[in-house]
Structure 1
Amino acid sequence: MKDSAAQFVELYLAESGRLQRRVSRIIGCRATASDIVHDVFLRLWKRKQDGMDEASAYLSQSARNAAIDYIRSERVRAEYIERTVPEQRFVTPSSPHDIVAARDHLRHIDDVIRALPERSRHIFLLNRIHGRNYREIASALGISIGAVEKHMIRALKAIRAGAEDF
């Protein structure tokens, strides 16, 4: 594939619909499939390899692998939630006092997260809210995986300490 932006756009228009349908069948969500396919095309664009004659085959395999990675990460996330707060997940506050207490607790945790150093907060939110793994975060921010781990440890310690203080 040549570096030409016009050829890349042409390839995107020709392949994106097919790839989105394929990924959607694998993961069961069209919106997420669209995001995955966009990420695959972005990785292809960043690679800009002149010798890639079979871009269509590369895209198909990359999209399939990305869909499988997504399913794995969702499974890990579900297992994490199950392990961390199994009895609290489905408990709804029963009285107005409980509702107010739960809201106050959430506000406190939100304040703790907002008080984190900007970089640690950003990395924490990318991982826990947006579902990015350490490798993806490191690549996006141009830092090492070890640095991502250190920021996550810092963030989690602060959040745990803040939760205990409440």
Structure 2
Amino acid sequence: MSEPLDISKPEADSATGRARFVQVFLAQRARMEALVSRRVGCRATAADLVQELFLRFWRRPEVKVEALDTYLLRCAGNLAIDHLRSEGSRGRIVEGLPAVDQDSPSQAMEQALQVEHDLQRIEAALRALPERTRQIFLLNRIHGCTYGEIAKAMQLSQSAVEKHMMRALEACKASIAEPASAVRRPGSAR
């Protein structure tokens, strides 16, 4: 087990911590880019996301973890999932918006707001799912992976993947079925 990395100490120790961070990051960079590339399907995007991960750690150097290499890989995977989620959200918003009818712009605006509220509810439901269930859902619905591919990649049975998907889909359906009053509207008091 490697010693914990603490780069929040005063200047001399901070320089050592930063040097250690850079060393571990560079050693893991290829693995992180490969992981992210498999998830997002684009090497250039993967390189950008791994660079973004580096900058996030560099800007807030108060990280203290036991196994930095493993932690970085996990963070890279989570960043890929976040990227897929945001890309999927943008696509669903554009696809879900109705064509603007010149005769009823207020009706079109109301429909657009309803789509936005439904999307917010679905995203909240997805965030509330266990990480593995959320990851399986995103790999299938956003990245387009089959259940078999997901099962192989995550070392699960296809039946387990199907059960996770059922849970995720039920959560999404339930979030839309909730009365609109149960969902906080943007700009409302918290």
TM-score, scaled to structure 2: 0.41
Structure having the higher helix fraction is 1
